[in-house]
Structure 1
Amino acid sequence: MEKITYDAMRNFILENELTDSVAISLHPDSFDELVMDYLDFNGNKIERPFEILGIEILQDNTGSVSKNKINTMNMVQ
């Protein structure tokens, strides 16, 4: 993905039919860009945990997710 935006993330979630059994992990730069776009779209309001269409969006702090890549993680144990 060229740049991870709010619209691109919504489309990714819908196209892949993701449910709340997964979370999305993003590179810190991509996460920051998405949060800024989300704030612009939602009038500087953000909820915790950060979710789009019920899917939790997390910042990867392990260094395993490349910039502008989306990593889905199974949340059901």
Structure 2
Amino acid sequence: MYATGVCPYCVRAEALLKRKGIDSVEKIRIDLDPERRDEMMQLTGRRTVPQIFIGDYHVGGCDDLYALDREGKLDPLLQGGA
């Protein structure tokens, strides 16, 4: 997950993932490493955080993550059934 240290949406997204049993989320802090922001923008076409990947699948941001959960698609994705 591309994130910053003060992003409430990053905290919210990580909290949902933890509730789903994900013990650790790899955070790439773009506020500490500006080159990683460029990388994020290249990969996603977006400039806002969080930008969440599950494996190689780009989920999108926090709202996208919660939408996947509401649609019942997040659990299978987390279990490797993208």
Q: TM-score scaled to structure 1, two decimals?
A: 0.33
Of Structure 1 and Structure 2, which has the larger fraction of its residues in helix? 2
Structure with more relative contact order (C-alpha pairs < 8 Å, separation 6 or more): 1
Of Structure 1 and Structure 2, which has the larger fraction of its residues in strand? 1
Task: Select the structure of larger CA radius of gyration.
Answer: 2
Q: TM-score scaled to structure 2, two decimals?
A: 0.32
